[in-house]
A = this chain, B = another copy of it.
Amino acid sequence: MQEINIQPLNNALDEQIKQKIDFKTKPLGSLGKLEELAFKICKIQQTLKPSISQPTILVCAGDHGITEEKVSPFPQEVTYQMVMNFLSGGAAINVFSKVHNIKLLVADTGVNYDFADYDGLLHFKINHGTRNFAKEAAMTQQECKQAMANGAQIVSEQLAKGCNVIGFGEMGIGNTTAAAALLCKYGNIHPDKACGAGTGLDAEGIKHKAEVIANALKLHKEVSSPFDVLATFGGYEIATICGAMLKAAELKMTILVDGFIATSALIAAHAIHPQVVDYCIFSHQSNEQGHRLMLEHLKASPLLDLGLRLGEGTGAAIALPILESAVAFVNEMNSFEDAGVSNKE
């Protein structure tokens, strides 16, 4: 596995950051979570003048062998069709990225389709879909390592191009089943609690999905190391995102965490290196059952709760303007002294 060297956040500027926020022309604490967010970004960047530079969302797409078990109401070909939709600019993540000035990259990490070259498409295919984890490990150790290294490489390249805030989205029919299995294993959660509707299962479908996971957990009960759990139940896109998040934390970038699948990648990253969470901002509470349990597992508080359950990084994209608000007030608001405004008596 890639060597990871994530530094704990430095406390040296804490007092100065807090003071800068507290002396803005507003009642103390009156910007609520925006103040916490501003504090965190300042701390990650170790500065009193934070910035959001070339915010980027990387959408990783991959197929899943577990779809053989009929865990999704959509056919597997929707994964490549949606990648084509991303490349033509017509998907939700395209629209939200465009309206909020976010750079969008799409990576084929393991889609069951051979793509030609397109602008904005990164070729990091490991294989034409994972194996069916109801029968065998989804990935070989080598494949999983490679996917993580690919994610790390992409993030390093984006940092070099000037990006300091990066979010991750995904596309992969079947991947809520993989994510739910990861939650069960890392969080010691029962499949009945971890499984939700995904793209639109009914109650019977959700029950079936939970049974598939319960059986797979039995089959792979000997698997225990954080890395092996990821390789066994994860997916190429999830492993790529996991490696990307670890590298982003190592590089002191701000990580914008999306919904159920992206958070499953973070749970894996957290199991491998807990400090990764220090560099994360949780964009939203997804409506997919299990995401709340993931956030609890990570002791995370999300910015938005809009009932989203689309994936693709859409929650991260919609939350980016809130980060921009936080950074802007730190940099641009007057202090009481600047403005000649009387403070509290």
Residue in B85, B287, B309 whose beta carbon sits within 8 Å of that of A25 in the complex: B85
Q: Of the candidates B26, B77, B308, which one forms a contact with A92 in the assembled complex, judged by CB atoms under 8 Å apart?
A: B26
Other-chain contact of A30, B310, B332, B334 (Cβ < 8 Å)? B310
Let me know if B332 and A98 touch, CB within 8 A: yes
- Complex-state Cα separation, A6 to B307, whole angstroms: 31
Q: Is B90 in contact with A25, judged by CB distance below 8 angstroms? A: yes
Least Cβ distance of A264 to chain B in Å? 17
Q: Is the beta-carbon distance between B306 and A341 smaller than 8 angstroms? A: no
Inter-chain contacts of A219 with B (CB < 8 A): none
Contact B32 A333 (CB under 8 A): no
Compute how far the CA of A31 lies from the CA of B341 in the bound complex, rounded to whole angstroms: 43
Instruction: Determine how many copies of this chain the complex contains.
Output: 2
C-alpha gap A318/B326 in the complex (Å): 10
Chain B residues whose CB sits within 8 angstroms of the CB of A95 once the complex forms: 325, 328-329, 332-333
Q: Which residues of B contact A317 (CB under 8 A)?
A: 325
Complex Cα–Cα for A25 and B85 (A): 9
Contacts of A84 in B (CB 8 A): 339-340
Asked if A12 is at the interface of the complex by the 8 Å CB criterion, the answer is no
Decide if A82 is an interface residue (CB 8 Å cutoff): yes
A279 touches B (CB below 8 Å): no
Contact, CB under 8 Å: A308 / B339: no
Contacts of A98 in B (CB 8 A): 328, 332
Across the interface, name the chain B residue whose C-beta is closest to A100.
B321
Asked if A32 contacts B287 (CB within 8 A), the reply is yes
A49 at the interface (CB under 8 A from B): no
Residues of B within 8 A of A305 (CB): 305
A73 in the interface (beta carbon within 8 A): yes
Contact A92 B27 (CB under 8 A): no
The chain B residue sitting closest to A338, CB to CB, is: B90
- Given the contacts A77-B342, A341-B82, A30 and B328 also touching, CB distance less than 8 Å: no
Known: A30-B308, A318-B325, A339-B90. A199 touches B81 (CB 8 A): no
| Complexed CA–CA distance, A26 and B311 (Å) | 9
**In the complex, what distance in Å separates the CA atom of A32 from the CA atom of B309?**
7
Q: Which of B28, B74, B90, B345 contacts A342 (CB 8 A)?
A: B74
Does A33 interact with chain B (Cβ within 8 Å)? yes
Which residues of B sit under 8 angstroms from A30, Cβ to Cβ?
199, 287, 308-310
Which B residues are in CB contact (< 8 Å) with A341?
78, 81-82, 85
Chain B residues with CB under 8 Å of A200's CB are: 27-28, 344
A124: chain B residues within 8 A (beta carbon): none
Other than A90-B333, A98-B328, give 16 A-B pairs with Cβ distance below 8 A.
A28-B200, A32-B307, A32-B308, A34-B306, A74-B343, A78-B341, A78-B342, A81-B339, A88-B339, A91-B339, A92-B333, A94-B333, A95-B333, A99-B321, A200-B344, A317-B325
Question: What 9 A-B pairs have minimum CB-CB distances, sorted nearest first?
Answer: A32-B307, A90-B334, A321-B321, A30-B310, A27-B199, A81-B341, A85-B339, A33-B306, A99-B328
What are 11 A-to-B residue pairs whose CB atoms are below 8 Å?
A: A24-B92, A25-B91, A27-B74, A30-B310, A84-B339, A88-B339, A90-B333, A94-B333, A99-B325, A306-B322, A318-B321
